Chain A
């Protein structure tokens, strides 16, 4: 309905404009009457002819005027109001008549040219031309909705006329007048139809129609009756008549015109005396607009359908171009989140932004794979470290056991020989060397055994700061001897850890003593504690003990062997190479780690990380 109203509004606006055009054509026809009359009235000899007794020349002149001006009637009135000559298409009257055409009377009275619509009654029409009077007669055709009317025939006629006063030196000599009968005159209405509506045909009927009403009567029209004849003699509806003729207003609305609904526009026609004597009408067949509405609706429907089809097509396109790769990306993301990096496939790489996303995704996968490989390598190293420790442990146990028996023999015999007093000093010195060397062997084997002995942890709730503090106090004397400062920076709010304090202490002592050995006098060993997160995996909370020295540092190629059993950089006899290996084992059994960072010449940092939750045992 909204659409219909829009169409209707458009139609009424258009019809209203069409009515203006029709009015201009109506006025144009009037001008076409005025001009020849005005020109003729200026002809100099017209006065003499007007005044002369013989009217022959005057009549001829008027006939010429009627013909050239295509006028239905032409006449001359003298200053006394006597019509001295009349010419019409059919007859020429040169006799004197007292019946004066109203427009001639008006011009005579006003002494100015007058033009416009003029109603001629039967008598006046007959005076102009009996044939014209006959032509003007219109029989009323009963019309629905029309206002009641008593007569059955309209005998008066509506004319379009002009009258020009003929003046000589300020003296009015007479009036020249002429005009056309509008009744049954199809010239104007058809011109309106042809010009304004371009004679457009719709379903066999003219879309645009025009009508000239004399009062409420169609006297000139191209509105057709159901029989296909011009609807002359039919009348306008009472409603329109009241509105336009009664109130003098324009009417623009759908109206029932003869037999069809039209979108119509009416306006009053006033005669030269400013009386509303008729109406000018234009209308457009509503059916066309109804069809336009249907057309519009179907166009809308087609647009909607096309839109839907387009949407579906676009949907398929998007699904194919975007959703499919996206779904594959989502699936790939799922695979990745499940740790499945090797089978990731996001499908063919698109050329658009999706492709960028896909490539970025692949980049991410590759980085993840790299990281995984690195992690695997790291954990493999750690596993190797553990396995190395275990196999070395087993080997050490076996070897130690077997070595200890012969070693008992060497020790016993050497010492028994040393007890003898009959050897000279050289021999005793040699024996002592054997004893010392054997003592070293014994220590090595003992270290091996300590290392291999997987002694159980005796964990108990431990205050790490207190433990570190105790250890540092035990080592302060040694630090003094070495000329190295030993300090402790305890971290705050450390949680209590469950660990074997004596084993952890031995680890700390081992690492701190190593730090002393690596640091020249004047250097510093600093121990600090703090909350630490093991970033590598699931961010486990723990405590870090950091032992930092300003010593000689560890060569990079030594770093990865640091925790291997028997690896030592110390001089022969100064270390068994088992200290850090044992320490590593202890921390590992606590579920912790030892990490080393070192720079040659600047020092080393050992970081012991211990979990808050219990270790492996």
Chain B
């Protein structure tokens, strides 16, 4: 797919469903996982052009995943999703190297607007 692979990490199935619905409708290939461990496994087996990650997840949270991604796959931009976007959360994510922050809930247009920026860059690159 010209639009490349997007990995979405969220423990909430409804959010994963929404992301798939929105992004696939726009022609992206979306890979969905429900935990950090699954995400790392996916990252190791395949290459992705964008990572959408939720902050609050059980066992390991989004922040630890972001650190690992930044360490091992620094070229993959990260978009952080959060249902509880505090100033502290946003600042912490930004420090780790998150590229964008998108608060939940979002409409399809809002999500696409963010995602498209990176995918266009990818295409251009």
Interface residues of A (CB under 8 A from B): 397, 400-413, 415-416, 419, 438, 442, 445, 449, 453, 455-456
Q: List the A side residues contacting B18 at CB < 8 Å.
A: 408-409, 411-413
> Is B44 interfacial (CB-CB < 8 Å)?
no
Q: List the A side residues contacting B84 at CB < 8 Å.
A: 397, 400-401, 404, 449
The answer, among A411, A419, A438, A456, for a CB contact under 8 Å with B87, is A456
> Is B104 interfacial (CB-CB < 8 Å)?
yes
Q: Map CB proximity to A onto B1-38 as digits: 1 under 8 Å, 0 otherwise.
A: 00000000000101101100110010000000000000
| Chain A proximity of B113: nearest CB distance (Å) | 13
| Chain A proximity of B108: nearest CB distance (Å) | 5
Assuming A411-B107, A415-B108, is B87 touching A406 (CB within 8 A)? no
Indicate the size class of the contact surface on chain B: 20 to 34
> Is B123 interfacial (CB-CB < 8 Å)?
no
For B20, give the chain A residue with the smallest CB separation: A412
For B19, give the chain A residue with the smallest CB separation: A412
What 9 A-B pairs are tightest by C-beta distance, nearest first?
A404-B83, A412-B18, A407-B105, A409-B14, A408-B105, A404-B104, A401-B84, A405-B12, A401-B83
Q: List the B side residues contacting A415 at CB < 8 Å.
A: 107-109
For B81, give the chain A residue with the smallest CB separation: A408
- B56 in contact with A401 (CB, 8 Å): yes
Q: List the A side residues contacting B86 at CB < 8 Å.
A: 453, 455
Q: List the B side residues contacting A419 at CB < 8 Å.
A: 25, 108
Q: List the B side residues contacting A438 at CB < 8 Å.
A: 105
For A435, give the chain B residue with the smallest CB separation: B107
> Is B106 interfacial (CB-CB < 8 Å)?
yes
Q: List the B side residues contacting A413 at CB < 8 Å.
A: 18, 21
A-B contact pairs, 27 of them (CB 8 A): A400-B84, A403-B83, A404-B83, A404-B105, A405-B15, A405-B83, A405-B104, A407-B104, A407-B105, A408-B14, A408-B15, A408-B83, A408-B105, A408-B106, A410-B105, A411-B106, A411-B107, A412-B107, A412-B108, A415-B108, A416-B21, A416-B25, A419-B108, A438-B105, A442-B105, A453-B87, A455-B87
Q: List the A side residues contacting B25 at CB < 8 Å.
A: 416, 419
Q: List the B side residues contacting A408 at CB < 8 Å.
A: 14-15, 18, 83, 104-106
Which B residues from 101 to 116 make CB contacts under 8 A with A? 103-109
The answer, among B12, B22, B83, B103, for a CB contact under 8 Å with A412, is B22
Q: List the A side residues contacting B106 at CB < 8 Å.
A: 408, 411-412
Q: How many A-B residue pairs have CB under 8 A?
A: 67
| Chain B proximity of A480: nearest CB distance (Å) | 33
Q: List the B side residues contacting A407 at CB < 8 Å.
A: 104-105
Q: Once the chains are docked, how many angstroms separate the CA of A288 from the CA of B108?
A: 134
| Chain B proximity of A452: nearest CB distance (Å) | 9
| Chain B proximity of A557: nearest CB distance (Å) | 35
Q: List the B side residues contacting A412 at CB < 8 Å.
A: 17-18, 21-22, 106-108
Q: List the A side residues contacting B97 at CB < 8 Å.
A: none
Q: List the B side residues contacting A397 at CB < 8 Å.
A: 84
Apart from A407-B104, A416-B21, what 15 extra A-B contacts exist at CB < 8 Å? A404-B104, A404-B105, A405-B15, A405-B105, A408-B105, A409-B14, A411-B105, A412-B18, A412-B107, A412-B108, A413-B21, A415-B109, A416-B25, A442-B105, A456-B87
- A402 in contact with B15 (CB, 8 Å): no
Q: Map CB proximity to A onto B85-109 as digits: 1 under 8 Å, 0 otherwise.
A: 1110000000000000001111111
Q: Once the chains are docked, how many angstroms separate the CA of A408 from the CA of B85?
A: 14
For A446, give the chain B residue with the smallest CB separation: B103
Q: Once the chains are docked, how many angstroms separate the CA of A453 from the CA of B56?
A: 16
Q: Once the chains are docked, how many angstroms separate the CA of A410 from the CA of B15?
A: 10
Q: Once the chains are docked, how many angstroms separate the CA of A445 from the CA of B18?
A: 19
